[in-house]
Chains A and B, each alone.
Chain A
């Protein structure tokens, strides 16, 4: 209860900050649409030469793309701004102030801000999802919707944990801010069906950087290609990843020394 109130205070101030940059919302929408158009454009370039790529039709790839953008929006709205902050704070030593507060540090560090204008990405993604599902004339029932929601939540948890794990590494290797770019790029692999990749890469994208889990699984849930029971397996994996990464974070905190001794 107390933590919910805190979360309210955190989000309120960061939304106030963002209100000063209202124009950002429109640049976001534009950037998001442009990114989407580029991807759809490049896919449609490939699809002008063939009607299916490794068994995926254009419309199915679009559903996948929608999930990709949805996840991207969730990450950029809720997770990424905090994780980037932590890396900067470790570098500048201002993480001290987080640790000095009578609040669980992980809570305060990873949920402190919200990048409200990135909601734009989420809106664009939802629009695309609606459009591509109607193109496929699929009916999305309660079980598809709930299994989609569960797998999406589990995917978000995995992304959060993955990022927390990397951020924790900055306690030892101070300058890892660029790593974000890499994850972002690896994450990009998720916008295409995993089947197009060579065998070994498919393994890496499933187990090392679990892009397949984060994007392909919810996309399959949405189009009714996933057994409902599997969504609970996914949920379990999400919880497990949170537990492991939090433990690692707490361990790493012991090695945080601040910017100056």
Chain B
């Protein structure tokens, strides 16, 4: 345990230093996360104002202007905390051979990457805090009164973080078999965006789309913690929400292990 703490601490330290080094790019990257949710907010507040002030979904969930603001702002923060971009990096590394030195280390490269990811979030969150505060101030979201179930959002976010990370990393491993993974990534990101609730609150999706969204892993990666914070999860569904998260996490770890084993075989066969 101490070993792992030391390793992550060392990586966090380096990662933080690197992030500060590239603070300009990092900040831009972080602000990137604003665009999607704000677009969604723009579309939905325009739609709701053209529809007399509020929109009611098929299951009866109602959103006003300020509800949309609350939804998309919280979504923005949660997805910032859980986001991951390793598929891009990984493909580069496989292609230009930078993966090889990492494989020589007596520790799986995913740990260094996860630590870097955490360092990124740590650095950017501190920088973004004032901007988030301003957005909350100007967009006037309607937030529920604080209560204890909202604290459950903390473990939910942590699970979502690891969950999204491991799925993304598994996807990145496709780079072992094909040198061009951009199309697949794009597909995955679109799917993630749609089914995690970036484009619309999942409660507003009609018909079969709503059903797909309910059972997809992406709900556990983003939408579930957001709903917890907004107090929109009925208390009898909280437990099942967590079970879903854990289920998809186990699946993700399994897939990752299989793909890694196969991928390394492939990588060494081609000659690194």
Mark A residues whose CB is within 8 Å of B: 21, 24, 27-28, 30-31, 34-35, 38, 41-43, 45-50, 52-54, 173, 175-179, 181-182, 185-186, 188-189, 192, 195-198, 201
Which chain B positions have C-beta within 8 A of A177?
25
Q: A45-B204, A46-B47, A182-B31 are in contact. Are A175 and B190 (CB under 8 A)?
A: no
| Contact A28/B46 with A178-B25, A182-B28 known, Cβ cut-off 8 Å | no
- A46 nearest in chain B by CB position: B47
A201 to B193, CA, bound (A): 22
Question: What chain A residues lie within 8 Å of B200 (beta carbons)?
Answer: 42, 45-46
Q: Which residue of B lies closest to A196 (CB)?
A: B46
B199 within 8 A of A: yes
Main secondary structure of the interface of A (DSSP, over half): helix
Interface of B is mostly: helix
Give residues in B with beta carbon < 8 Å to A. Answer: 22, 24-26, 28-29, 31-32, 35-36, 39, 42-44, 46-48, 50-51, 55, 179-180, 183-184, 186-187, 190-191, 193-194, 199-200, 204-206, 209
Q: Are A42 and B50 closer than 8 Å at their CB atoms?
A: no
Q: How far is the CA of A48 from the CA of B39 in the complex (A)?
A: 18
Closest chain B CB from A78 CB (angstroms): 17
State which of B55, B184, B193, B209 has its C-beta within 8 Å of the C-beta of A49.
B55
Which B residues lie within 8 Å of A198 (CB)? 42
Cross-chain contact B35 with A54 (CB below 8 angstroms): no
Is the Cβ of B190 less than 8 Å from the Cβ of A178? Answer: no
B31 to chain A, nearest CB (A): 7
Q: Across the interface, which residues of B come within 8 angstroms of A178, CB to CB?
A: 25-26, 28-29, 32
Find chain B residues with CB under 8 A from A196 CB.
42-43, 46
Collect the chain B residues with CB atoms within 8 Å of residue A34's CB.
Answer: 187, 190-191
Q: Which 6 A-B pairs have the closest CB atoms?
A: A27-B183, A185-B35, A196-B46, A42-B199, A50-B51, A31-B183
A60 to B28, CA, bound (A): 32
Q: Of A31, A45, A53, A185, which is within 8 A of B205 by CB?
A: A45
> Which of B24, B55, B205 is most buried by chain A, counting CB atoms within 10 A of its CB?
B24
A181 touches B32 (CB 8 A): yes
With A46-B44, A176-B25, A188-B39 known as contacts, the answer to whether A38 contacts B199 (CB < 8 A) is yes
A185:B187 contact, CB within 8 angstroms: no
Closest B residue to A192 using CB positions: B43
Which of A24, A185, A197 is B183 in contact with, Cβ under 8 Å? A24
B97 to chain A, nearest CB (A): 13
**Chain B residue with Cβ nearest A37:** B190
- B191 proximity list for chain A (CB < 8 A): 34
* A192 partner, pick from B32, B42, B186, B187, beta carbons under 8 A: B42
Complex CA gap A53/B49 in Å reads 8
**Chain B residues with CB below 8 A from A47, complex form:** 47
Do A31 and B50 touch (CB < 8 A)? no
Give the nearest-CB partner of B36 in chain A. Answer: A185
When chains A and B are docked, how far (Å) is the Cα of A42 from the Cα of B47? 12
